[in-house]
Every structure is written in C-alpha cells, then in structure tokens.
Structure 1
C-alpha cells in the first residue's frame, strides 16, 4: 500500500493496489482489463514482468525442463516488492458505464473532501498471494477459483507464452512440454496456495 503524498502542491496522490490472483488460465488478465475500463486513472501491473531472465529459470529436478511455475523461483520477489512499495504513477457497455460513473464519484469525493487523487493499480498474477510482503502491499484482494478440468482445457488450447519480456522486446515463445501441466503447473499452484485451501478443495481446485 503506497502512502499518500503531496505532488507539486496540488492534490495528494494515493495508490490503491487491487490484487487479481488465480491459477494460470483462470481469467485474471481479462478481469483486470475489465476493471481498468471502469476504474478511472487505473493501470495494470503484470506479475509476469517480474519473472527472472530465461537463463535463470530453475530446472525441475525430475522432469529436467525449466520450471516457470514454482513460487520460489518463478518470480524475482525482492524486485516485485520493491516496485510495489515505490509505485506512485505509472462485460456489457451498460455495466461498464455504471461502474465507471460509480468510481468516478468516489474519485471526485476524495478530491473534494480529502484533497486526494486516487490511482488504482491492478496487480495481476498467478503467484500473487504467495509472498507475504507482496500480499501486505495489496489493499484489495481478488482470487479467481476455476476447476482443474477447465484450467487444463484452457491451457491446452493456448499456443504458447512469451517469456522474459522485460529483457527483450518480444521475449521467447514458451510452449508446454508433455506433462508440464500435471507435473509442474498444477502442483506449483497447489503449493503456492496451500495455506488458503482446505484439504478437500485441493483435490480438483
């Protein structure tokens, strides 16, 4: 959570971090884009942008392929935490208009009564709730729950992922090797969210 700061003698600025977490292919980015369309002054922070460079991604000990999903090595956590702490700036149309008007009123009220400009930072990530220092920075926490079968189907239908985009304009195209979902992605998802799930929920959620 960023502190409120006075900027150039005008309105104070306060960044409200809205976490949008969930498994790979759960719809996080889609939801974040919808929220951006209705929250005035909002922008999206993608957790994927804090992945390590490709050559530093750990290799799975038994499958001998790069593991982009294990929470301990998939994200450069100190860099992400530092970024969140320092950040100040960067559906139906009827529903979008309704919520856009609603949040605009909130923003206007804050400006008039508290002399504060609200900036909404939408933080999108598949390991968003694993590192306690990241969780601490989030003012609002949304978690998308999607069934195992649906997630696997969506993942299999994707052509691939561009990785390490912070180090190259295009990144590298990653395609899951055989068994990657069942042996790496799903176990890593359960590992990262184990504290938040009951035992029964860990079976197919």
Structure 2
C-alpha cells in the first residue's frame, strides 16, 4: 500500500518482488540448467503482442547459435542452455544483477512508456491465494503518482547522475548493453544483443 496515495503499490522496488526467492531461483537455474519444478507463472494470462523480426536476421542468428551448440557438444561434451530473464526491475537488486552474465536495458522515453501502460487492459499480478494471479487495472493517476516515480527511483543508480532518460550506464550493472529504442529497429537490436551472446559463448570455450 502506498503511504501517501493509499492504493496498492505494485511498482516500488523494495516490495514489488520477493527478492530472496528470485535470487535463489536464478542461482538454481544457473547451476542446473533447468527451471525448478515448483515454479509457477501467470504471465500467459497477460496480453502478448508479437514483435516482428526480419526473416534474414532471425535465420542468421539461428544458424550461429545452432553452430555454437554443435561445436560445444562435440568439442567439450557440454550442452549450452540459455536462460533469458525479462523484467522491469532487473537492475535494482545487486544479487540479481550478479547472476546475469549479459545485461541489456531497452530505454524508452517516458511518454511512450506512459502510452503503452495506458493502452493495457490490465495485467495479472501474483497473489498467494490464487495461482493464476489477480487482474489489476490502474486507477486514475496511477502512472503519474505510482508507476513512473517508482521506475525513476529504481533506475537512478544504474545511470550516471541518475539520468534515466539520457544518461550513460554507470558501474552498478557493469557491461550493460543500452539499447535506445527510438534509434534502432528490432533487427538491429536483436543483432547487437545476439552478437554479445555469441562472444560470451565463445569465451567460455577458452
């Protein structure tokens, strides 16, 4: 509950996520290469919009990673397992940051974030009493009073001088790949990230 506005606060970093549970989950996945059997998600209930990537870009990177997989299995007798972690608070908790081998941040201007949030019909949140979650719809003023201030607060330490709109990445999330969403298309973003993933995978061979 927000102490001033007296509405449920799903966005303030300290209480938005069960941090010890998330850290434990990430550590187990890295150690075993498997999702724990007791893991449950309700994200499939939320609206999923398809994001198009050019066939040429997609096919090129499929070939690259398939080649890496075969090389690793043949030469080192090891299997590569990729774990993709997506979240709006990945760079607030240092223990979470430390579990991420590659760190990517897609920067989007406030006005576009606000527009996207307002276009959502709602989203399912985790509640203890219902494994499918509970549908939440933002009350009036929620973006301005709750969501964006929490977003700024959670990310100010990630960027130099706390400038989340135009600042360069600082030292908190070292090696952060910053993608400026308004200056590149999806194919460029995918290729930049996949190029880094390829480099990381090849470094593991040495």
Write out aligned runs for 1:112-151 (5 A): 112-151=74-113
The counterpart of 1:80, out of the listed 9, 22, 29, is 22
Cα deviation, residue 204, structure 1: 7.9
Distance 2:163 2:155 in 1: 11
Preserved CA contact (<8 Å) 2:125 2:133: yes
Greater fraction of residues in helix = 2
**1:103 equivalenced with 2:65 (yes/no):** yes
Q: TM-score, normalised by structure 2?
A: 0.66
Cα deviation, residue 194, structure 1: 0.9
Residue aligned with 1:173, SS: strand
C-alpha RMSD of matched pairs (Å) = 1.9
1:67: which partner in 2?
A: 9
Residue aligned with 2:145, SS: helix
User: 1:166/1:108 Cα in 2 relative to 1: closer, same or farther (>3 Å)?
Assistant: farther
**1:186 equivalenced with 2:128 (yes/no):** no
Preserved CA contact (<8 Å) 1:190 1:202: yes
1:17-74 CA-to-partner distances (Å, cap 9, x unmatched) read: xxxxxxxxxxxxxxxxxxxxxxxxxxxxxxxxxxxxxxxxxx0000000100000000
Residue aligned with 1:94, SS: helix
Cα deviation, residue 94, structure 1: 2.2
- The answer for unaligned runs of 5 or more in structure 2 is 36-52, 168-206
User: 1:166/1:120 Cα in 2 relative to 1: closer, same or farther (>3 Å)?
Assistant: farther
Distance 1:86 1:200 in 2: 32
Cα deviation, residue 200, structure 1: 7.3
Preserved CA contact (<8 Å) 2:109 2:165: no
- The answer for unaligned runs of 5 or more in structure 1 is 1-58
How many residue pairs were aligned? 147
Write out aligned runs for 1:15-34 (5 A): none
Residue aligned with 1:144, SS: strand
Distance 1:95 1:78 in 2: 37
> With CA pairs under 8 Å and 6+ residues apart, which has the higher RCO, 1 or 2?
1
User: 1:107/1:166 Cα in 2 relative to 1: closer, same or farther (>3 Å)?
Assistant: farther
Greater fraction of residues in strand = 1
Distance 2:87 2:158 in 1: 16
Preserved CA contact (<8 Å) 1:148 1:204: no
Distance 2:54 2:165 in 1: 34
Q: TM-score, normalised by structure 1?
A: 0.67
